[in-house]
Structure 1
């Protein structure tokens, strides 16, 4: 069936097919050997395909395909299997300059990337700085003293975490945007004189970094406690060396709609007591940041599950696999976003029983929750698909517990989106699937495919 979808007549399905699902080996063979560049490009970005499988396209004749392999799957907050090192090395030394550039920019740090530290091209030496942790002391020294200012600046950026002199060199040798410089400064080692200078004359993002930096003396940071910019005051109020009473004295606020970067020192914390204090803080930004920390103790997870700030609970569900299932469900119900469906993948999402709890709810969005219940009763599904609101028919047409006789009826529904969902029902037998493809003009035989 999937091989039929590789035919030219099914090209409208190629992106969905090759990009977003796990595929059996014969279909992968068909895609890799397909004459169609767009199909191969889509597969290069498939997050379900292991790195060694995507690497089959590393020697593709089309540079755009090889570039897509170098970029790889870029799914929001999804970790993907990396390409094997031999494949990364091949892309970094590709004959096409655009492919090499994409590889230098997007491949994860690796020994293959670190090998560029002594390359004749300064752009490749700069790229090697992304593999800073894999470089030996000699290579790091050479990059810090490179003849090219952009290389020195990138090397200094990486070294700045532990070296205050490198931080000064970074500020001197780069023309990064103030926001980027501020992000670097949040984790950089700082000379007292540098911190004082930036507190008095830095851009807003730089002052904010100094205000919240745990390595900056409190007396210096206090110069920013009444800064005219709220972003600066908020970072000062999020310092680790303030009491809750002192935080409350700072003019700051966080609204539900504010999208803020987590506080660096909270993300880096490993001490359970420190994280407990952040989770119990009156400072909303500290609580949001604690929700993202992988070392958060369970009692703090439970505490934040009761937080009155919805973004705290969203971040908790996204980052903490031990979040209580009822918290995940409640957050799923309250959060209106294209990303809400990500919560369905949480290990504690309580699917079983949703039909019983919400199938008769007066609110349509609540009734739709029953679609996620693998044990939803057939009688309920039949009733919901006969309700006049077409959105319910669309929602439940693909549920595997819906009696097949009703699925057959919905295949001919006047609403095309409903019939499409019915065609996706896993109980549709292969002969009917083939008939649907026949009616769409997709040939049964594709002899040109492996």
Structure 2
């Protein structure tokens, strides 16, 4: 009895795994640029996924009609996200009964005024909120959202439309709702450059707790204003004051010893800060980093925990702060004791003398060396770039970038990588368009799924090996193989047949 139960569970697990692999293959087909139109229309019948096929940029009129006729939520949602839709289709979707479909259209729409006008007056809040984020909306229609009855819509508009005309910006800055004013005069916006509030509104913005921090950097620093802002209990106000271009030296030096790490970090990055104070701040922050924040510490109240997290985030900024004045004059900072200064100097590596570049490429900090690679790959020799890439991959960083994304390794290096013991390095071999088929086959049949995924779409991969990857144990590999333009139509048809489409 127990044996039968175990076999049943094993059978169900196997069936579930097979279904997951079929799903991965169908997802790959949906993005395959060589999928014939007849097979695209068959794939429309798959209504258990997320509707990826509806985002293809080669959909014919008949296929679009079939998608609309399905009434399937995810297919229609993905269709609304498609940037290549004909204008008449966009107009139909703008009047669709499904709120989520109209919201998806609002987020991506780039079509006729009539579509935007309909969406701006849509009864659903999410539709108007996403429309407020869409940079393609004509300015006069987008401006209507500044009068939207929902303050969340107005606040979203204030955050996302950094280039709003002054009348719109003024309206948002003086909105009756505090949340809208705070969004319109924030210390952070979704896009650069951050808007500067009109000078005549700054005094009133400084009097408003919701907008004081966002306007502090733009204040006329009379003695009274300076004293008020420097003594404000909100550290965000003091931080923005610390970034004021006309900050008097006396106040600057006082803020350098502020009780808030966030404020100290803002002062640390000032060009006019005396070196002894910069060093004092740096040493203080180094002491703090030696004590990690425990988010489960029951002795801290919520406010104290938030401050501790903000302090740690501010300390992390020291390594990657923009510091444009350092980048504009990098040579004096190539050997700075401060990592962030050396990183900022490395951003200008392409303009530095060769000896300075060599110094940075020998820096003990990986961030400095990697910054040279990302900003001036042409000054980096192959051996050094490889060393930096290997060290980066060992640290398993999760920011989505790696040195090899910026550095064009030559074919001889890429072919040598194909037999490297490090799978992260082996995967780079797929970047050689002329990689020999025997090396490709070895990579595609190797033990690491990340490597198999990397080579699955290679144009020179033997067809038999590519088809074998459709049966891979990794869903990611299966999806990559199914999306390969080199996949034979017969294999595409077989995937659809197995899925019952």
TM-score by length of 2: 0.65
Which of 151, 169, 173 matches 2:204?
169
Mapped partners of 1:272, 1:390: distance in 2: 40
Indicate the structure (1 or 2) with the bigger Cα radius of gyration: 2
Instruction: Give 5+ residue unaligned stretches, structure 1.
Output: 73-80, 443-450
Query: How do 1:15-26 and structure 2 match up within 5 A?
Result: 15=52, 17-18=53-54, 23-26=57-60
Query: How do 1:107-118 and structure 2 match up within 5 A?
Result: 111-112=139-140, 115-116=143-144
* Structure 1 stretch displaced more, 99-108 or 422-431: 99-108
Native 8 Å contact 1:199 1:207 kept in 2 = yes
Query: How do 1:230-379 and structure 2 match up within 5 A?
Result: 230-242=261-273, 247-252=278-283, 253=285, 259-260=316-317, 266=323, 273-274=328-329, 282-286=337-341, 298-299=350-351, 306=361, 308-311=364-367, 333=390, 334=392, 336-340=396-400, 346=406, 349-350=408-409, 352-379=411-438
Query: How do 1:110-259 and structure 2 match up within 5 A?
Result: 111-112=139-140, 115-116=143-144, 119=147, 121=149, 123=151, 129=158, 131=161, 133-136=163-166, 161=196, 163=198, 166-173=201-208, 175=210, 182=213, 184=214, 187-192=217-222, 193-242=224-273, 247-252=278-283, 253=285, 259=316
Larger relative contact order, structure 1 or 2 (CA cutoff 8 Å, min sep 6): 2
| 1:222 CA drift (Å) | 0.8
Native 8 Å contact 1:226 1:251 kept in 2 = no
Is residue 66 of structure 1 aligned with residue 125 of structure 2? no
Aligned counterpart, 1:382: 441
Aligned counterpart, 1:448: none
TM-score by length of 1: 0.71
Aligned counterpart, 1:430: 489
Mapped partners of 1:330, 1:45: distance in 2: 42
SS in 2 for 1:25: coil
**Aligned in 2, Cα 1:280/1:148: closer, same or farther, shift over 3 Å?**
same
Mapped partners of 2:70, 2:410: distance in 1: 39
Mapped partners of 1:275, 1:58: distance in 2: 52
Aligned counterpart, 2:116: 88
Query: How do 1:382-421 and structure 2 match up within 5 A?
Result: 382-387=441-446, 392-412=451-471, 418=477, 421=480
Q: CA RMSD of the aligned region, Å?
A: 4.7
Number of aligned positions between the proteins: 416
**Aligned in 2, Cα 1:112/1:428: closer, same or farther, shift over 3 Å?**
same
Query: How do 1:97-116 and structure 2 match up within 5 A?
Result: 97-104=125-132, 111-112=139-140, 115-116=143-144
